[in-house]
Structure 1
Amino acid sequence: MNRVSIQAILAEIGVDMSVFPDEHHLSSWTGMCPGNEESAGKRLRSAVRHGNRWLRRDLSEAAWGASQTQTSYFAAQYRRLAPRRGKKRALITVAHSLLIVIYHVLKEHKDYQDLGRDYFDCHSAERLQRYLVHRLEALGHEVSLRPRKLDQEN
């Protein structure tokens, strides 16, 4: 995020986070909260809610910048969601994540620690392994996995 985006975001939400009980209230006030439309157990698509349009614009711009970096968690989140949900929906999701991070940084007075681009791979390694095996089998390969033996020094 550049200095102008940070100044614009702070001008809109302020630095006192006690007015928002939690990050969900801030997201709702901003209009960046995910939709909650459901029918027959199926989640439906819904438009972005009305809220502070200037803050939403600044967050979207910051999310675009964050999604274009190579080594950040937000770039990994964008690249993970964009093919499946579309570029604009992925951008709104990244902007929502940025808003939650901003809320916690301002409320807890802590520095931001980036989770890194390989967070999703490490977080759910078994699920990724199952997905890749299934994908290779769908392409006509027979796959059997065995753990790699580490060289032991005597």
Structure 2
Amino acid sequence: MGEPHFREHHAFLARIYLDQYDQLTSAIKQLTVPVEEAMAPFQPVLDLLDTIPGVNRTVAEVIVAETGGDMTRFASAKNLASWAGLCPGHHESAGKVRSTRVRPGNAHLKGALGMAAFGAARTKGSYLQARYKRLTARRGPMKALIAVEHSIITAIWHMLTDNVPAGTWRWACRSGG
């Protein structure tokens, strides 16, 4: 056919990218040990959080880092959801709804819960997937993801308050508090 298109300047750029990848991989390895040491006292909490569909080790670590893993500082699941910024805003005057945007909250926690909600929506046979599908049909995918995030944060409060895994926690009390 023709000459290969990978020339000397392509090799130069590839080497720069590979060197950068190696540096980032090394930095990640250096940070992993202190993070694991800091999370060691929270191992029971991390194990509980890992039972929620969509929540992996990284998301669980963010949840613990942002909330402290102690739910006694939040009076109810609704307080935790409000602090996290996962409650819809409500501005109604004279019977007209002005805004239904979510409140500002903890950006790191919201980001982690967004990833968890996305994973939970893809977990076959889970309550959270059924909730996502049901709400997507009515409200759209973005509002459905926020609702799944709210369900997850509510479950987190109940699970950590009562020290029970997701398999035994009743998802039926979805808005609990």
Could you state the TM-score of these two structures normalised by the residue count of structure 2? 0.61
Whether 1:109 aligns to 2:144 is no
Q: Cα gap change, 1:30/1:17 in structure 2, threshold over 3 Å: closer, same or farther? A: same
Counterpart among 76, 81, 95 of residue 135 in structure 2: 81
Alignment correspondent of 2:82: 28
Rounded to whole Å, the distance in 2 between the matches of 1:85 and 1:33 is 16
CA contact (8 A) 1:72 1:115 kept: no
Question: What are the equivalent positions in structure 2 for 1:49-128 lying under 5 Å apart?
Answer: 49-113=103-167
Identity %: 43
Letter of the aligned partner of 2:107 in structure 1?
A: R
Letter of the aligned partner of 1:93 in structure 2?
A: A
Rounded to whole Å, the distance in 2 between the matches of 1:73 and 1:88 is 18
Unaligned runs of 5+ in 2: 1-54, 173-177
Cα RMSD, aligned residues only: 1.8
- For the residue of structure 2 that corresponds to 1:110, the secondary structure is coil
Compare 20-29 and 37-46 and name the one that shifted more: 37-46
CA contact (8 A) 1:17 1:103 kept: yes
Higher share in helix:
2
**Structure of greater Rg:** 2
State the number of aligned residues. Answer: 117
CA contact (8 A) 2:88 2:101 kept: no
Q: Which has the higher contact order (CA 8 A, sep 6+)?
A: 2
Compare 34-43 and 98-107 and name the one that shifted more: 34-43
Alignment correspondent of 1:123: none
